[in-house]
Structure 1
């Protein structure tokens, strides 16, 4: 597709947008989300933000949401940290307002199809994308197609029970905050400076992440797992312990073929959102 596509990442704190033109993402901008306002006010805010891109004459709108989404009907079931944004017919609202096709999905699913379409996941037909940030999210690409599942909830391994909590508790920024009372970025600087406590924090994190990746291998055995999110930048600090844990996976031949990749895209959420429009026939749901 050579025509412009608008991608939006709508979250509890901010709304971010960008335009894909000839394969390149341009004009990244953002506004604060009026999270405590009414549903109608938030919808009008989104519409006003989209209007700032009107001069591009984009052919479609792709949107990533951190929550459950009925991707066929374009209904947002719920969005974290926005009390009024429950059961929102976002696709219908935006289609009527702009007369363009609108595609909406969970933001972790967007990440997976984004890295497959535009990033390091290009060579692989079967991959899983895992976002490591404030929380943990997962998305699945099967035979080159995004698999969303019911209400775009496929790949939510983060909520599965693990130890005394769930995987997200141990495989996201929550781990560093809850056990080391610090942010990953701060601890990373300390670890690189040789602080033994900070070094141990990332070793433990790598162990927990390795356990999560084993669950993914047992369930899907993908060709590649792509890590994204802000914590991916600390990969050298947890890589060794993560692979040590992966070595306990029961099927070594499967592990030998697995590629662990680090996303090079800084705007993965928007890349994934535009990918929804670019590959609209490739979205699979149940």
Structure 2
């Protein structure tokens, strides 16, 4: 799967609960190239018309009115990726789009055919991008984990990369996302130390107690190891690739994860994405690379 220098004009788009990023994605000498990146905050708590209008505005900044464009869109679930229909109902953000064909609405606003728009799960896009152009190049067995407000996950086995939906996996007294996201840090800081924080960023502030911060990061790291280990062993994973905002603090917690894995005789490298958001933009256009 790959592009060449005569590839069609493609735009990779990464849509989240509060933002949209779009860029031209092409290749030079078989290497992916990101150009004209445009990012915009979007209030997805508004009505459907407002959301689609904001997204169209951002995408149009990059497409510049051209019609001969393929639009690859990375989108969080639940979502019918084949038909472009939103299934997001309870998360609050994008709720107004539930049951609507986002593909049809965008095609109408961009004045292109629906065949020029393809969707991919956001975690799947992240790992696909890393596999094509980042830390996962040349490897057949990968896990991608995005750590932030929620827990995103994708697994690559040979030529197939899929959203793993591990956030709902039973874990300890709940599900994985209860223990591997911003909410865990907020709850643990208050329950364990009586400290109120808004997120991981607060732990890095110079005024925050470094001892408490380190305890929280180390516990989080070991929890991540406990969660990962069955998948690493069963799927013979060669590397774990981390993304998401919490991964920016990886030096504070990944050593504890690796130590936990070593205690069970598992040695799998864990690497933070070097591509950052570009991974999702590259992965977003991947549905067009098979055709």
TM-score range, shorter chain: 0.7 to 0.9
* Partner of residue 269, structure 2: 259
* Cα 1:194–1:276 shift into 2, 3 Å: farther
| 1:146-165 alignment, distance < 5 Å | 146-147=161-162, 154-165=163-174
Q: Does 1:105 align with 2:93?
A: no
Q: Deviations over 1:69-98 (max 9, x none)?
A: 222222222174122011231223334532
- Contact 1:124–1:144 (CA under 8 A) maintained in structure 2: no
Task: Flag structure 1 segments of 5+ consecutive residues without an equivalent.
Answer: 148-153, 282-286
> TM-score when scaled to structure 2?
0.82
| 1:1-286 alignment, distance < 5 Å | 1=3, 2=5, 3-22=8-27, 23-55=32-64, 57=66, 59-78=69-88, 80=91, 81-95=93-107, 97-99=111-113, 101-147=116-162, 154-180=163-189, 181-182=196-197, 183-189=199-205, 195-249=210-264, 252=265, 255-256=266-267, 258-267=268-277, 268-277=279-288, 279-280=289-290
Q: Distance in 2 between matches of 1:104 and 1:223?
A: 27
Equivalent pairs counted in the alignment come to 268
**Secondary structure, aligned partner of 1:73:** coil
Q: Distance in 1 between matches of 2:201 and 2:263?
A: 29
Task: Flag structure 2 segments of 5+ consecutive residues without an equivalent.
Answer: 190-195
> TM-score when scaled to structure 1?
0.83
Q: Distance in 1 between matches of 2:234 and 2:153?
A: 13
Q: CA RMSD in A?
A: 2.5
